[in-house]
Amino acid sequence: MPRGSQGEKHPVDQVDRGEKAHAAGRPSLTDQPTPSSAPTQIEIQQQEQLAIATAALRGAAPRLYANGFIVAQSNSDVSIIMLTNGSATSVLTLSFIAAKTLIGELTKAMTNLEEAIGETIPTMDEIQEKMKKAAEARHESR
């Protein structure tokens, strides 16, 4: 039987593509759920953080460099004393929550770097231990 004969409707015919469907109380294609193109709250936060980071890196925010550090802790926060060649140059004090979050973010950044370059970056303690062993080996060979 041909489609639409004797008042029979094909399922596709039951969904209009415009205002007639709404007027007749039938579903319209525009009523169908569609993936949201609006950014999620997390995406908005990530975009905001990227904008802040970009502005800070390009702007006049103070820049600090350290090749060492000391960690101090009180009952309410943790401080990182930044060292450059053994001298204290600045102090960063964080709440415990911010410090723990920083640890996670730094861990992710280092993991991404190490995966990208295919190497493990040694810690200062690991380098110090290797240098100590090398010095001991040189001393023994004399």
Tokens 């979050």, located at residue: 101
The pLDDT value recorded for residue 35 is: 55
Please count the CA atoms within 13 angstroms of the CA of 137 that sit on its side-chain side: 6
β-strand pairing of 68-73 with 87-95: unpaired
Q: pLDDT band at 120, cuts 50/70/90? A: very high
- CA–CA separation, 92 vs 130, rounded Å? 29
pLDDT tens per residue, range 1-49:
444 444 444 444 443 444 444 444 544 444 444 556 788 999 999 899 9
Of 73, 85, 68, the C-alpha closest to 125 is 68
Say what the pTM is: 0.60
Give rounded-to-5 percent helix, strand, coil for the chain. Answer: 50, 20, 30
* Helix (H) / strand (E) containing 88: strand 87-95
